[in-house]
Chain A
Amino acid sequence: MDRDATAAKIAALIEPFNKKGIAITDATTFAGDLEFDSLTVMDFVAAIEDEFDIIISMNQQAEIETYGQLVDAVVKLQG
């Protein structure tokens, strides 16, 4: 799956977690802009893992701060 198609799927998945309806760009941060707490992160990561059939370990999550980094990571993890 290319970056655009992956990004489109992630955009649909993040919607229920984007409670404040923030406009999301590649620079949007999960902790700062979206105010995700640890439980939201777990549920959101689980939704992405299930959709793409991948694992995003906590070690990898630590490197992902922005929406753009997440899309890049998911593209890469799909191999």
Chain B
Amino acid sequence: MTDLFSKFDPLIEQRRALLATGVTDPFNLTMERVVSPTVAVCNGRETILLGTYNYMGMTFDPDVIEAGKQALDDFGSGTTGSRVLNGTYAGHRAVEEALKEFYAMDHAMVFSTGYQANLGIISTIAGKGDYIVLDIDSHASIWDGCKMGDAEVVPFKHNDIEAMEKRLKRIPEGAGKLVVLEGVYSMLGDIAPLKEMIRVAKDNGAMVLVDEAHSMGFIGPNGRGVAEDQGVLDQVDFVIGTFSKSVGTVGGFCVSNHPKFEIMRLVCRPYVFTASLPPSVVATAATSVRKLMHAGNKRAHLWENSRTLHKGLRDKGFELGTKEPQSAIIAVIMPDLERGAMMWEALLREGLYVNLARPPATPAGMTLLRCSLCAEHSAEQVQTILGMFERAGKAVGIIA
């Protein structure tokens, strides 16, 4: 008998070798208690959270929590059904209304996760004979959406407008075209030149889908994302977003002005063939989305945090993913996986949690310590974080 697990042997060996060095397993951490959006207890010690994507700190907002409790009382713990059968409650409609207002768009469709939103929309709208042109650094959910559909998949070099244009121009006459972009790329925290890319896409007759998972709530005048910030949101055919970052719960969505958009609810399999979100989740999401419409001060503080951390780390000699802070993600580049894991552990001992990111999730085989800031991080916490990075970096030998 062939062991179907033998294909995982190289990864099992890499993991064994890493853990044999005595380092704490970076992919098996437990949050024993969560104190606030920025503090949890891990391994019995209080830890500052700097790797949660909880950008706007909505997870402990009193109004959000109250809405969730009320929905639990009024509607129960779960829907036990698909959106197209018994799983659409008043709360699902209400959160879709909130999203339509938030983006000022005609249609909103809520999925059970952000992953399923990309999976469902991309695999459904691009079919046999159509072409998907996408950035090579796209998120796994976008790639999986491509793989699940029947379209021809054509990647181009990250953020390379010319490479994208060349590929669009080579697509056979009459074929359907979908360009898939992200506002913020979550590994390095860099943004896309959406204005130019969307113009090129439109000039070549393509529809455009932009994943704004890592920008919602704080980029753009109304927090609608990078496309809004660059003044081209009206050119985007489909915006994909998530509730599991700035909104502070779980779920995914697509908003669109396409006049036929509602048919998606019947043809999109990852929407139809799964249970809908629990009533408490959609209630917390709707409350949070509405509060994010008026979060100008929090946005400003988040940007201050991002700038302070970026400058502080750069001044201390760390190599960062972007020259300037472009989002609330600051990626610190590690020389290799082993030293990355050592640095990750040294930071955890200091009382700081960041994400350790490694191939294949990262571009160019890089190992990254990915930091995501929160609007609820105080200025003092950011200074504490910088001190922790300095001590850990010197101990591990990442900085001099």
Interface residues of A (CB under 8 A from B): 37-39, 42-43, 46, 49-50, 53-55, 57-60
Cβ–Cβ < 8 Å partners of B136 in chain A: 42
Q: Are A57 and B364 in contact (CB-based, < 8 A)?
A: no
**For the complex, is B253 an interface residue (Cβ under 8 Å from A)?**
no
What residues of B have a CB within 8 angstroms of the CB of A43 in the complex? 157
Q: Which residues of B contact A50 (CB under 8 A)?
A: 166
Interchain CB contact (< 8 A) of A59 among B152, B156, B363, B365? B152
The CA of A58 and the CA of B171, in the complex, are separated in Å by 14
11 pairs from A and B in contact (CB 8 Å cutoff)? A42-B136, A42-B155, A42-B157, A46-B157, A46-B163, A49-B166, A50-B166, A55-B154, A55-B170, A55-B171, A59-B152
Contacts of B170 in A (CB 8 A): 49, 53-55
Chain B residues numbered 156-182 whose CB sits less than 8 Å from any CB in chain A: 156-157, 163, 166-167, 170-171
8 Å CB contact of B154 from A38, A39, A53, A57:
A57
B153 touches which of A42, A49, A53, A58 (Cβ 8 Å): A58
- Residues of A near B152 (CB, < 8 A) are 55, 57-60
- The answer to whether A57 touches B153, judged by C-beta atoms less than 8 angstroms apart, is yes
> Which B residues are in CB contact (< 8 Å) with A37?
365
Given contacts A39-B364, A39-B365, A42-B136, contact A55 B167 (CB under 8 A): yes
Q: How far is the CA of A26 from the CA of B154 in the complex (A)?
A: 25
Closest to A60 in B: B152
CA distance A58 to B153 in the complex (A): 5
Number of A-B residue pairs with CB-CB distance less than 8 Å in the complex they form: 36
B131 within 8 A of A: yes
Q: CA of A46 to CA of B136 in the docked complex: distance in angstroms?
A: 12
**Chain B minimum-CB-distance residue to A55:** B170
Decide: A57 and B131 in contact? CB cutoff 8 A: yes
Asked if A59 and B153 sit within 8 Å, CB to CB, the answer is yes
- Docked complex Cα distance between A54 and B146 (Å): 20
* Nearest CB of chain A from residue B126's CB, rounded to whole Å: 12
Q: Using Cβ atoms and an 8 Å threshold, which residues of chain B touch A60?
A: 152
* Interface residue from B154, B163, B363 paired with A58 (Cβ < 8 Å): B154
Chain B contact residues, CB within 8 Å of chain A = 131, 136, 146, 152-157, 163, 166-167, 170-171, 360, 363-365
Contacts of A54 in B (CB 8 A): 170
Q: Which A residue sits closest to B150, measured CB to CB?
A: A59
How many Å lie between the Cα of A55 and that of B364 in the bound state? 23
CB proximity of B111 to chain A, nearest CB, Å: 24
Closest A residue to B163 by beta carbon equals A46
CA distance A38 to B156 in the complex (A): 13
**Cβ-closest chain A residue relative to B146:** A58
> Is A58 a contact partner of B167 (Cβ separation < 8 A)?
no
- A49 with B167: CB separation less than 8 A: yes
The chain B residue with its CB closest to the CB of A53 is B170
Q: Is the CB of A58 within 8 A of B155?
A: yes
Further contacts, 19 of them, CB under 8 A, given A42-B157, A53-B170, A55-B154: A37-B365, A38-B360, A39-B363, A42-B136, A46-B156, A46-B163, A49-B167, A49-B170, A55-B131, A55-B167, A55-B170, A55-B171, A57-B152, A57-B153, A57-B154, A58-B146, A58-B152, A58-B153, A58-B154
* A13 → chain B closest CB, angstroms: 16
Residues from chain A with a CB closer than 8 A to the CB of B131 are: 55, 57
CB contacts (< 8 Å) of B171 on chain A: these are: 55
- Most A CB contacts (10 A, CB to CB) among B167, B360, B363 go to B167
Q: For the complex, what is the distance from the CA of A20 to the CA of B146, rounded to whole Å?
A: 33
Distance between Cα atoms of A58 and B143 in the complex (Å): 11
- Bound together, the chains give a CA A42 to CA B138 distance in angstroms of 14
CB-CB under 8 A from A46, the residues of chain B are 156-157, 163
| Best-buried of B152, B156, B171, B364 by chain A (most CB within 10 Å) | B152
Query: Closest Cβ of chain B: how far from A6's Cβ, in Å?
Result: 17
Closest approach, in angstroms, between the C-beta of B221 and any C-beta of chain A?
36
Return A12 CB to nearest CB of chain B, in Å.
20
Q: How far does the alpha carbon of A38 sit from the alpha carbon of B365 in the complex, in Å?
A: 10
Tell me, rounded to whole Å, the shortest Cβ–Cβ distance linking B69 to chain A. 46
Nearest 3 interchain pairs by C-beta? A57-B152, A58-B153, A55-B170
Give Cα A53–Cα B163 distance, bound, in whole angstroms: 12
The residues of B that contact A55 with a CB separation of less than 8 Å are 131, 152, 154, 167, 170-171
B143 closest partner in A (C-beta):
A58
Report the minimum CB–CB distance from B184 to chain A (whole Å). 21
Q: How far is the CA of A67 from the CA of B131 in the complex (A)?
A: 25
